Structure 1
Amino acid sequence: MRSALKERGLGYVLAVACSAEVTTGAGTFRADALVKKVPKRSWQKLSAGRGAKGQRFNDWAVIDLADPRPGSRQLLIRRNRTTGELAYYRCYSPEPVPLTTLVKVAGCRWRVEETFQSEKGLAGLDEHQVRRYPSWRRWVTLAMLAHAFLAVVRAEEYACRPTPDSMVPLSCNGIQHLFITLVVQPLHDAAHRLAWSD
């Protein structure tokens, strides 16, 4: 994947395992061994973006990697300020970029994960019993369309209908509940229930 992105001239920040080996000017090291050589003054407190509880501050350090090919390659390291947990990222950019840019790109991952969690809860993304790739692809596409529908309806609610001070604007959860209640009307007659036992 990294090679394909480089061939297209696209930069990336990709999470890697602590056992990933990287080559620096001093030699080849595992990422978790290399982090022990980072001086204390190299760590910077930076935010990877806003989260549910405000800015997500962590300590970050970057190590330049040795590679004769054009482009800038680094190992980005994130350290949780409370637990000390470490995460590692391989970075590439056609031109050198500052640490703050790499941190912002790494922080985009949380938005993607939040969207996946939302799609699981609202659109059933995780409810497919994977048998074959074509059926999985159809299910994921349908779940993404359902989530997009909820997001668009929510955005239109915010943009077109200002709510009175006493009312809370509709959320995606509220829209999903209303849609199921008003549009999708399940059958509850005896014949339907007996058919399930067959």
Structure 2
Amino acid sequence: MKKFILSGVLLIGSMLAVKAQDVKFGVKGGLNLSKLTSTNGSKVLAGFNAGALVNFKLDNNWAIQPEVQYSTQGTKVKNDILWGAVTTEGTMKLDYINVPVLAQYHIIDEFYLEGGPQIGFLTSAKAKSGGVSVDVKDNMKTVDFGLNFGFGYKFDMGLGIGARYNFGLTNVYDSDKINRKNSVAQIDLFYIF
């Protein structure tokens, strides 16, 4: 399945390269604020993302931008036990290689809105509480699907800033008894060469 999806992304990218008027490459990185949905007592976990992008300008307003980025995600958990007499705190850290493919609409040359699908490949999953860290990757799904929506501003020199929200569409756990999805807000700086 992964090879099929990757082949499809490469095929679409190749077709866009032929039709695109202007192709530019870039790098990006920034802050992630993530949480797993439907988790009682969960709080936002700070992380980061870093990666590369290719921007295919189709005309004056439209562009397609596939990316590959390393993304640290997850959630903080705080549970009250014995009616608040004992509290436990921990984190669930999930690391992904995410591949979003975004359609961008430029309202003006510098400012754009964007949206599109994303596939993520789980590279690591660790639960930590009380100084003890446990590898839980075997309990997680290795592929995650989501949708991205955001906006950005690019200065004339190629430097820019963007904000994006990714909401997961699939359960991150490899179980029907637990249903949690990724929820990630990103603030990035990027540079287009």
Alignment TM class, shorter chain as reference: 0.3 to 0.5
| Higher relative helix content | 1
Q: Which has the higher contact order (CA 8 A, sep 6+)?
A: 2
| Higher relative strand content | 2
Larger Rg computed on CA atoms: 1
TM-score computed with the length of structure 1 as normaliser: 0.32
TM-score computed with the length of structure 2 as normaliser: 0.32
